Structure 1
Amino acid sequence: MAPTPPPGTAFSSGPHGRSLIATQDFTPGSLIATFSSPTLALPDGPSMKTTCNYCLRVGSNEGFSPVSLKACTGCKAAVYCGPICQRAHWKAIHKAECKMFGRIREATGKDWLPTPVRALAQVLLTNDKTIRDPFDGDDPLEGNLDGFKADEQVWGDFELQAMAAMTYSGVFMNEDGLRVAMRFLCQIQTNAFNRLDADTGMSGIFLDPALARVNHSCVPSAFIGFDKRAATLRAERPIKEGEEITISYIENDKPRSVRRQGLRLYHFECDCPRCLDDLDVYQVAQTSPVISLNSFSLQPDLAKFREPAIDKSGISMKQIEDIYKAVYDQTKPEQDNSIEAAQARWKLCKPLVEAKMWAVEPLPTTILLLATNWQTNYKWAVYALPLACFLATHCDPIKLVAPFMSWRIKGIMVITKLLAFTGELTSSGDLAKRCTHEGIVGALAMADQVTMCQALLHIVVHQGSIGAAEDWDVLKEAKMMLKDLESLPGRQDESNLVQAWAKDPEDLQAKAFFESEVLKPVNTLASFAPEILEDVLIQGQGLVVRR
C-alpha cells in the first residue's frame, strides 16, 4: 500500500525527485508529523541486549537501569521491557525471528545479526517467506539500484548481506530471489534513518515510507527526533505553506567534501546554498531566520550571531578541510579519548584557534571529547565546567542556531550537573583542594550556583517544551530538578527573580538579575577554557596552574 502524507503536508515531485510539501505554515519547533507505525524499527545488532526489541526503550538486563529488560525464553537473543512489548513483537515478527536466531546461534555461535541483515530478514519473514515487495504500490520506495550496482565493493557487500538474510530467514534462495532481496536491501539503505544517539544509547534503524519522502538539505527546514518506536518531524525554522520540507541526512556542520562523502550512498550531490557557496557555520548562522529565539538562551547577545568576532583572513575553506581530514585520519577521535590524542588534535586545530573560529569542526568536537572525558574523572571534573560553558556559549549556538535543538539543551544540562557537583565542593570548602586554577575557584566562590542551576533548568524546560516530546527523558529530569530547587527554603527572593525572568526575559529587573547572577559567571568560566586547553594540550601540564 502506498503511503499517505501526514495532515498539513502533501506529496509532490520536483527537481529533487519525490518530496514532502507543507500545506500550512509551521512555526519553529512546531510538530509537523509523528510517524508511529514504521515498516521497520529495530535496534542495531550490538544493542539487542540493551534495548527493548519492540518499543526500543534503552535499558538493561542487569537490573541496574530504570528499564529492566528480560530476554525471550525461546531464543535468548531479543530482550523486552515487559510482557506487553514481548507479546506485540511476537505477533509482529518475533514468532518467525525466534527460530531464526536459533539457526544463527547454531551456525555462528552468536545470537545477533548485523543491522541491515536483520532488517532484510524481517522483511522476508514478514512476507511469509515469499519474495513479495513490502514497499509496493503505485509509488514504491526509491532504491538507487543502478547507483549501488556501479559501486563494486558496495554491491558485493550487499550480495553477502542478502545471502545471509535469505539463509537465516529460511527463504528459498535462487537467482531471482537473490536479485529481489538485494533490491529490498537497496531500498532499506536508501530510505531508513539511523536512530543513533550516543548520549542515550539509542541506536538502530527506522523506516517509514511517508517519512522517507522528506528530502535532504545541508540547511534544512526541519529535523527528526526519535522516541521509542516513533519518529517526530519538527520545524527547525519557519516553514511557509507550499514550501518543501527538508531535513539533513548527515551531520551538516562538517566541511563540504566530508558532507559529500556522507551522502555518497544516497547517490546525489547536494545543491543547497551551504554546498553551492561552500559556506562555513558562521556564514550559515548569520542568515538564520531563528536568531531572535536566542534571547532566551545562554547566548542572548544576538550580535554574536550576526557579527561574529572571528578573523578568517589567515585561513581558507581548503585549509579547514585539510585540518578536518588530518584530525580524523591521524587521531581517530571517536576511538581514542586519551590526552595524547587530544594534544594531537589541538595542534592540528591551531589555525582555527588563532582565527577564533571555535564553532568550525573539528575544533568543537576536540573540546567536547576532552570535556566528556573529564566529566567522569574525579581529578579533572572541575575543569570540565569551563569547557562545557565554552561549548554552550561559543560553539553550539553557531552550529545549531535554534535554541530548542536537543544537542544545545543537553549541553545546558551538562553545565547544570557540573554546577551541582562544584557547588557541593564549594560549600564543603574542598574546591580549592581539587582545583589549582584560581580563576575557577574565585568565580565559583562568588557565584550563586543554586540560582545558576535554577535559571539553566528554566532554559532547558522552556526550549525542551518547544522542540521535544513531553516525555523526553532530559526534559522530565530537568522538571524534577527544577521542582526540587524551587522548593529549597531561604532563597525565595532569588527564586522569584529567576521565575520572573523565565516568564518575561525582557523584564528589566529580572533581566539584570539574570545577566549578573547567571550570564556573567557562565561567561567568566567559559573565558578560562582556551587557557586551560592551551595549558593541558600544548604545555602538557598535569594540572592547570594559575597561582
Structure 2
Amino acid sequence: MPLSPPPGTRISSGTNGRCLVATQTYNPGSVIATFPSPILALPDGPGAKTTCNWCLRVGSPNDSTKLKACTGCKATVYCDANCQRAHWKAIHKAECKVFNNLQKELGKDWLPTPVRATAQILLLLKAGNGAVADAFEGNDKLEGNVEGFKTDAKVWQDFELMATAAAVYTGSLQNEQALNAAKDVLCQVQTNAFNRLDADTGSSGIFLDRNLAMVNHSCVPNAFVGFNKRTATLRAGRQIEEGDEITISYIDNSLPGVARHEALRLYHFQCACPRCADKLDVYEVCQASPVIPLNSFSLQPDLEKLRNPPIDRSKVSKEEAEAIYVEWYEKTNSRTDDAIDIARDRWKIVKPLVEAKMWAVEPLPTTILHLCNFFQTSYKWVVYALPLTCFLATECDPFKLPTPFEAWRVKGLLSVVKLLAYTGELTSSGELAKRCPHEGIVGALALADQVTMCQALLHLGIHHGSIGADENWQVLVDARAMLKDLESLPGRKKESELIQAWAKDPEHPEGRTFFEEEVLKSVRELASFTPEILDAVLGGSLEVARH
C-alpha cells in the first residue's frame, strides 16, 4: 500500500530523501496532523507493569481505578477490559505467550524496549499484517540504515544480541535469513521510532508511525511532536508556508554542535541545517527566530533583550564553548559521587561562560538545573531552588527555546509555581527565616504576593500549554486544578480580577501594570540572587549539608 500523507501535506523528495511538505499555511501552534493509529506504541521495559499497555495511561498509587494485570502472563497491565481486549486483538494474543516463555526460561517478566518492539513487529509480520508488511518489507519500506549501524562494532554487537533475543522469544529463529530479517526490523525501529519520554508525566516508551517517520530533522525545526497516550500530534513551531518542508528535531537541539552531531550519529546523516552550516549558538538562533514577538506574553517579555542579548562574546569563542561542553561531559557526566562535589567541579569548567554571561549556553543551564534539583531534595536548602528556577525561566529557557509554548518552557513556569506555593506556606507560618539564612530571599518573599504570582504564572502556563500540547496533558490538567483552587480563595477579588484582565488581554493597562509590579518584578528580584548563590555554594564559600 503506498504512503498516504496527512491532509494538508504531501510527500516529496528532497536533498535528505523523502520528506513531508506543507500544502497550506500553518500558524505557530496550529495542528498539522495527528497520528492516532501507530504501528508501535508501547511503554519502556519495566513500564509495562505501571502503564496501560494499550492506551498508555500512566498509573499512579493514588488512582481510584488501579491498572489490572493480564491474567495470562501478569506482565502487562490495563486500565480496564476495553483496553485489554483492544491490546489482545492487536498484538498481545501472540505476545502473551512470549512473556510466559520468558518467565519460565529466565524468570523475567519484562523485555528491554528495543527487543519487545522488534518482537511485536516479527509477530505482526508472522500474522500477515498488511500495514506492517508494507512498512517493513514493501517498496516504500522504512529506512533501516543497516550498513551504517554495522560501522560501529559495539552498537552492532548490541543489535545482534537484541535481534537474536527477539527472534528466539517469538519463535522466528529458524535460520540465518530469519535472524538477518530480525536485525533489519530492529534497525528500522531504531531509525524511525520516537521516544515518548516525559519525566514530568511519567510517560515513556516508543511510538512508530509510518507517515510521521517521513518528517526530517533540522536543528532549527519549524514543527514539533507531542504525545498523548496512543496519539502523536505534529504542530507548527513557527509560521509554515505552503511549499515549505516540515521539519522537527530528533534530538535536544539546544545542545552545542559537537553534542548534536554525536546525538545524531546513529541516524547516519550529517545535518546541514542553517545552525549546523553556520555554527550558530543558541543566542544567534534566538536572535533570528521569527517567534520572538510571542514572548510579549511570557516571563521574558523584553523582546529587545531576546534580539540583542547582553552577552560578552569576547570572553568565550564558539570553539572554546564547544570545548567546555566536551570537558564537562567527559569529566563529570558519568560520576555518581557527592552531588555538591560534582556541581563544584562543573562550576570550575563552566566559569568562562558565566563571565561571558552566556547563561543559556550548555552545559551551564544543566549545571544550574542539577543544583536546583539537589536543593529541592534538601530540607534546609529547598528555598534556594526558587531563585534558581526563576533564573532558568527568565535567563536560560527563553533563549534556548524562543517558542513560549514549548513543553519545557511551560514546565519551567509551573516549577516556579510549585516552589512559590511551598515557600508561601513557609512565609505565612513564619518558618521561612528559620529555614533560609539568605536575607535577600527572605525579604523578597516577605514583600511578594506569592498567591498573585502563582495565579499569573498558572495563566501563562495554561495559555501556552493549551497551544503546544493536548488539552489532556497531565501538566495542564494539574495547572487548571491549581488555578481553580487559587481563584476560589476569599479576600482576593481585586487582585484576581486584575490578573484575569491581564491574562485575557496582556495590553490591558491596569492588568499589565499589576502583572509587572506584583509578578514580574518579584520574579526578576528572586532570579537576581542566582549568580551570588551559585558563586557562594559552588565556589565553596558557603558550606552545604550533603544530606
Query: Please, what TM-score do these two structures have when normalized by structure 2?
Result: 0.96
Which residue of structure 2 aligns with residue 542 of structure 1? 543
Which residue of structure 2 aligns with residue 282 of structure 1? 283
Residues of 2 paired with 1:522 and 1:251: CA distance?
27
- The number of aligned residues is 542
Which residue of structure 1 aligns with residue 376 of structure 2? 375
Residues 1:84 and 1:20: Cα distance change in structure 2 (over 3 Å)? same
Superposition deviation, residue 3 in structure 1? 3.0
Residues of 1 paired with 2:538 and 2:370: CA distance?
13
Cα offsets for 1:376-429 (capped at 9, x unmatched): 322211111000000000000011101011111111111111111111111111
Unpaired segments of 5 or more residues in structure 1?
none
Determine if the alignment matches structure 1 residue 142 to structure 2 residue 146: no
Which residue of structure 1 aligns with residue 431 of structure 2? 430
- AA aligned opposite 1:73: T
Q: 1:94 aligned to 89, 92, 104, which one? A: 92
Of stretches 5-14 and 196-205 in structure 1, the one that deviates more from structure 2 is 196-205
Of stretches 152-161 and 132-141 in structure 1, the one that deviates more from structure 2 is 132-141
Of stretches 334-343 and 395-404 in structure 1, the one that deviates more from structure 2 is 334-343
Superposition deviation, residue 66 in structure 1? 5.9
Q: How does 1:59-98 map to 2 (within 5 A)?
A: 59-60=59-60, 63-65=61-63, 68-98=66-96
Which residue of structure 2 aligns with residue 24 of structure 1? 24
Residues of 2 paired with 1:336 and 1:358: CA distance?
25
Partner SS state of residue 312, structure 1: coil
Which residue of structure 1 aligns with residue 415 of structure 2? 414
Of stretches 88-97 and 287-296 in structure 1, the one that deviates more from structure 2 is 88-97
Q: How does 1:179-218 map to 2 (within 5 A)?
A: 179-218=180-219
Superposition deviation, residue 283 in structure 1? 0.4
What percent identity do the matched residue pairs reach?
65
Determine if the alignment matches structure 1 residue 509 to structure 2 residue 510: yes
* 1:461–1:478 contact (8 Å) kept in structure 2: yes
Which residue of structure 1 aligns with residue 156 of structure 2? 155
Residues 1:67 and 1:353: Cα distance change in structure 2 (over 3 Å)? farther
Q: How does 1:328-407 map to 2 (within 5 A)?
A: 328-332=329-333, 338-407=339-408
Residues of 2 paired with 1:376 and 1:257: CA distance?
32
Superposition deviation, residue 172 in structure 1? 4.0
* 2:134–2:141 contact (8 Å) kept in structure 1: no
Residues of 2 paired with 1:441 and 1:315: CA distance?
35
Which residue of structure 1 aligns with residue 13 of structure 2? 13
Which residue of structure 2 aligns with residue 112 of structure 1? 110
Residues of 2 paired with 1:213 and 1:10: CA distance?
10
Residues of 2 paired with 1:351 and 1:69: CA distance?
50
Partner SS state of residue 313, structure 1: coil
Unpaired segments of 5 or more residues in structure 2?
none
Residues of 2 paired with 1:378 and 1:68: CA distance?
32
Superposition deviation, residue 205 in structure 1? 0.9
Residues of 1 paired with 2:66 and 2:354: CA distance?
45
Partner SS state of residue 143, structure 2: coil
Of stretches 129-138 and 71-80 in structure 1, the one that deviates more from structure 2 is 129-138
* 2:57–2:229 contact (8 Å) kept in structure 1: yes
Cα offsets for 1:19-53 (capped at 9, x unmatched): 00001101111111111100011111132222111
* 1:337–1:370 contact (8 Å) kept in structure 2: no
Query: Please, what TM-score do these two structures have when normalized by structure 1?
Result: 0.96
Partner SS state of residue 322, structure 1: helix
Q: CA RMSD in A?
A: 1.7
Of stretches 294-303 and 107-116 in structure 1, the one that deviates more from structure 2 is 107-116
- AA aligned opposite 2:46: P
Cα offsets for 1:115-172 (capped at 9, x unmatched): 1111111011112367983514442111112222333333332222211111001124
Partner SS state of residue 52, structure 1: coil
Partner SS state of residue 358, structure 1: coil
Partner SS state of residue 233, structure 2: strand
Residues 1:66 and 1:261: Cα distance change in structure 2 (over 3 Å)? farther
Residues of 2 paired with 1:114 and 1:215: CA distance?
27
- AA aligned opposite 2:156: W
Partner SS state of residue 12, structure 1: strand
* 2:164–2:173 contact (8 Å) kept in structure 1: no
Residues of 2 paired with 1:480 and 1:80: CA distance?
26
